[in-house]
Amino acid sequence: KMNSKICFCTFFIVGKIYLAVIGQSVFGLEVYKELRKEGHTIVGVFTIPDKDGKADPLGEQGKGIPEVVQVYKATGAELNVMPFCSQFIPMEVIDHPAHALLYPLHGFDNRTLIHGDKKGGFTVFWADDGLDTGPILLQRECDVEPDDTVNTIYKRFLFPEGVKGTVDAVRLIAAGNAPKIVQPEEGATYEGIQKKDNAKIDWNQSAQALHNWIRGNDKVPGAWAEVDGQKVTFYGSSLLDSGATAIGQPLEIPGASQPGLVTKAGLMLFGNDGKTLLVKNLQFKDGKMIAAARYFSSGSSASVELTEEEKAFGVWKSILTNVDAIEDSTDFFKSGAASMDVVRLVEEVKLRASGCQLQNEDVYMNTTFQDFIQMCVRKLRGEDDEEELVVDYVEKNINNMTIRMPHQLFINGEFVDAEGGKTYKTINPTDGTAICDVSLAQASDVDRAVAAAKEAFEEGEWGKINPRDRGRLLYKLADLMEEHQEELATIESMDSGAVYTLALKTHVGMSIQTFRYFAGWCDKIQVREISIFVILTLRVCAIVIPWNYPLMMLAWKTAACLAAGNTVVLKPAQVTPLTAVKFAELAARAGFPKGVINILPGSGALVGQRLSDHPDVRKLGFTGSTEIGKHIMKSCAVSNVKKVSLELGGKSPLIIFSDCDMDKAVRMGMSAVFFNKGENCIAAGRLFVEENIHDQYVKRVVEEVKKMKIGDPLDRSTDHGPQNHKAHLDKLVEYCQTGVREGATLVCGGKQVSRPGFFFEPTIFTDVQDHMFIAIEESFGPVMILSKFKSGDVDEVLRRANATEYGLASGVFTRDISKALYVSEKLNAGTVFVNTYNKTDVAAPFGGFKQSGFGKDLGKTC
């Protein structure tokens, strides 16, 4: 270690002169290319054999091979350039040229990392008999990142900057102004090359010291320890945040302060200070490397049946030429392969098998010929190497298809039962029968899900994945949802009572659009005036959604969270959980890492409250009633001041002027009220109709209501299906009874339909005064509330329309564009529809004012 630098000893001689290149490796090739670009003449290239770490025969004898030295001297080299020269160089070669030697030793001192240095770099020396003890020509340095290894610094800095530094040194020599700075001896230290025997881990250290030791010895010689009676080498260390927790299986490690923990992300280790680090890969004495997360299942592997074409593709058998016959059990490293052979193997397979993207680690983890072939074929086929997703389906033959529904909690990539095996029945509102038993999440299940979401971000690949790859996953998920759209729509219709055609177009269709929209935003950068910016991911987000649009509300909130890089714990409405858990299955099959998406059917009082209170949840998105929203907001503030987005109740006014298109106003006015059985957060809760067309409008609407077909939501001709659940149906009956008691005129409807299920008649009230309960409170059902306003009195009707504590949506019908613009500006609502209604779009922000909540769904500003 020299001056706390990473000692990257680079010795070169450059000018427009005759050069001899002595060395090997890709680094040497790049130096060779750059020197030729500079206009120098390369008079000779001398490579030095270095096979399998065997002793250097030249170094043992202390002299060169006479005939080779003679050939070298005959080249007339004025300068020796020695990129990556790891073997003995005779002094007669060093001293022969007119210029002193420059020598690059690729790599750097492991102890720079072991000692926790914050800066690293390399030095270009004038060579002497000690090579790297001569005068300094130039130096370059870089920051050492917290999780850097020798390899990462080499790739990021030492390789590219080493090549540049070598060429710069040559330019200085050619210009005649290359400095010679004598190395100071004060403070200098020398430590021998780190060897395997000396790399044993001392567990009686802090997590930081353990991390430095492991990464400082990664990949060579490799930090090791005794585990289960065998020598195990540790690779891929990273420090974890203070207080990190995880779910996993304990692993006893002799000498450690406490057992390690094999988690989904890797092997969690503990320092004597209680802090933690994570190791990604483990290697056994026989050379076999595994992902640390698979320590307890390292012996299991799934076989791949090869096609005849794949069997005939013999690229792999052309690699190990030193083995007479390659069998399935042939081990790559036991057959004499070394690290350079790994690089050669990876690069040749990538060249010959287009699309097979290998990493060096793939070879270490698949050391036998059979394992290696199967791994390559999986990559070529695009198959997931993860274990099979296990789903306990409930199957039903319905809507001319067989639907398969998960019914358990989804935590950390697995469908699991709730604590204690607790379940509840979800009911089909069409006939009141039970669909199936669904797992009922408990507080401990919430804690497990949040821990999984936190671990997925902090320790798993999700927190490191680049935005473009997140976008690809979202696109893939949207494609899977589209493939299953009829099944999703059928489940939604059966579980919530939504008319199938509406479920297919809106509930499912808009959900797919939402995921594709946010997938497209993943890799977009919006910067106007500043060139440096930081996007802070919230990490763990909780989502609590309502029962009126089970899948669409999930999509509106989840897609944006995932696109931004967060992980999600979602509680669907207790009465409509089935499309949410089906969504979880599709997300897993799309390839989302474990823990990124977690689904917890259960009660709001238990699951919703625990999510509001949980200290590891950093944001909560809620759609539901204003009353519950206030309670959630308070809990979020008291717990850890978590961010909150609330989409709450509404009483959206719709103003119909006498100069409207009457046909459109009737058609769209009915849609504004009866769309999705009135279970619509932006439904027109009150219609103000100009008095000179009021009676005509009521007559037309009643005529159209009588034409509506009430029936099975899976019947393609049905206009109006059942209300979502029994308690809601009972509230609608009570709501209408209150309206009659207060003096409003019940024109039609107002009661339950006489048939099985939770059907409620489309209802129309007139003569509704501003003080009445039904004029103030939301019905959230198929109830049209009609009031007159004086002809021409625009400001008065605006005053009445705005006299509400809600401000989610509103609408106006008129042919007068000036009037439409004036009314739109004055209405206090997050959305104003003009001569239309219910026309939401995934690109348009959605949200309300006042007690309808705050924060936006959809659009780029959500």
**Residue 121: per-residue pLDDT:** 81
* Closest C-alpha to 561, from 512, 621, 476: 621
pLDDT tens digits for range 392-448: 999 999 999 999 999 999 999 999 999 999 999 999 999 999 999 999 999 999 999
Instruction: Show the 3-state SS of 698-765.
Output: HHHHHHHHHHCCECCCCCCCCCECCCCCHHHHHHHHHHHHHHHHCCCEEEECCCECCCCCCCECCEEE
Residues sharing a CB contact under 8 Å with residue 368, sequence separation 6 or more, in sequence order: 328, 329, 330, 331, 332
| First-to-final CA distance of the chain | 51
Bond prior to 37 in cis (omega within 30° of 0)? no
Q: Is 363 annotated as a binding residue?
A: no
Options 585, 647, 679, 761, the catalytic residue: 647
Whole-model pTM: value is 0.62
pLDDT tens digits for range 628-683: 999 999 999 999 999 999 999 999 999 999 999 999 999 999 999 999 999 999 99
Kind of pairing between the strands at 597-599 and 567-571: parallel
Residue with the two structure tokens 């530094």: 165
Q: Is 710 annotated as a binding residue?
A: no
> Residue 623 corresponds to which tokens in the numbers above?
């759609």
**Residue 316: per-residue pLDDT:** 45
Q: Which of 137-141, 569-573, 854-858 has the highest mean pLDDT?
A: 569-573
**CATH number corresponding to 653-854:** 3.40.309.10
Residues sharing a CB contact under 8 Å with residue 138, sequence separation 6 or more, in sequence order: 123, 124, 165, 168, 169, 172, 179
Strand, coil or helix: 836: coil
Q: Is 624 annotated as a binding residue?
A: yes
Percentage above 90 pLDDT, the chain? 55
* Closest C-alpha to 695, from 759, 630, 764: 764
Known catalytic residue at 185: no
Q: Is 787 annotated as a binding residue?
A: no
> Of the CATH numbers 1.20.1730.10, 3.40.50.2000, 3.40.605.10, 1.10.10.350, which one belongs to the domain with range 408-417+441-647?
3.40.605.10
Per-residue pLDDT for 142 more than 50? yes
Q: Which of 272-276, 278-282, 542-546 has the highest mean pLDDT?
A: 542-546
Per-residue pLDDT for 96 more than 80? no
Domain map of the chain by residue range? 18-50+64-175, 196-294, 308-381, 408-417+441-647, 653-854
- So what CATH class is 196-294? alpha beta
Q: Is 608 annotated as a binding residue?
A: yes
Beta bridge partners of 394: 405
- Among 232-246, 788-802, 807-821, which is the least confidently predicted range? 232-246
Residue with the two structure tokens 């005649």: 176
Q: What is residue 411's DSSP assignment?
A: E
Residues 760/752, Cβ–Cβ less than 8 Å: yes
**Residue 90: per-residue pLDDT:** 67
Mean pLDDT of the chain: 83
C-alpha distances in angstroms, 245 versus 242, 373, 411, 802? 9, 37, 16, 50
**b/e map 469-491, b = 16+ CB within 10 Å:** ebbbbbbbbbebbeebbbbbbbb
**Residue 377: per-residue pLDDT:** 67
Angle at 360 between CA 354 and CA 366, to 5 degrees: 90
Per-residue pLDDT for 762 more than 70? yes
Per-residue pLDDT for 9 more than 70? no
Query: Where is pLDDT greater, at 357 or 532?
Result: 357
C-alpha distances in angstroms, 482 versus 555, 674, 761? 13, 27, 33
Residues 408/416, Cβ–Cβ less than 8 Å: yes
Q: Is 88 annotated as a binding residue?
A: yes
Banded pLDDT at 460 (limits 50, 70, 90): confident
Q: Which of 62-71, 377-386, 652-661 has the highest mean pLDDT?
A: 652-661
Bond prior to 221 in cis (omega within 30° of 0)? yes
What mean pLDDT comes out for the span 832-845? 95
Percentage above 70 pLDDT, the chain? 76
Strand order in the sheet with 79-81: 41-46, 18-22, 79-81
**CATH number corresponding to 308-381:** 1.10.1200.10
Per-residue pLDDT for 836 more than 60? yes
Residues sharing a CB contact under 8 Å with residue 610, sequence separation 6 or more, in sequence order: 443, 446, 447
Largest CA distance in the chain: 117
pLDDT tens digits for range 577-630: 999 999 999 999 998 999 999 999 999 999 999 999 999 999 999 999 999 999
- Among 246-250, 310-314, 316-320, 417-421, which is the least confidently predicted range? 310-314
361 class by beta-carbon count within 10 Å (0-12 exposed, 13-18 middle, 19+ buried): middle
**Residue 616: per-residue pLDDT:** 96
Beta bridge partners of 248: 263
The CATH architecture assigned to 18-50+64-175 reads 3-Layer(aba) Sandwich (3.40)
Per-residue pLDDT for 107 more than 70? no
Banded pLDDT at 758 (limits 50, 70, 90): very high
Banded pLDDT at 98 (limits 50, 70, 90): low
Q: Is 66 annotated as a binding residue?
A: no
How far apart are the C-alpha atoms of 268 and 234, rounded to whole Å?
11
How far apart are the C-alpha atoms of 232 and 724, rounded to whole Å?
58
Per-residue pLDDT for 238 more than 50? yes
Residues sharing a CB contact under 8 Å with residue 579, sequence separation 6 or more, in sequence order: 488, 491, 492, 495, 550, 551, 554, 572
How far apart are the C-alpha atoms of 108 and 96, rounded to whole Å?
28
Q: Is 89 annotated as a binding residue?
A: yes
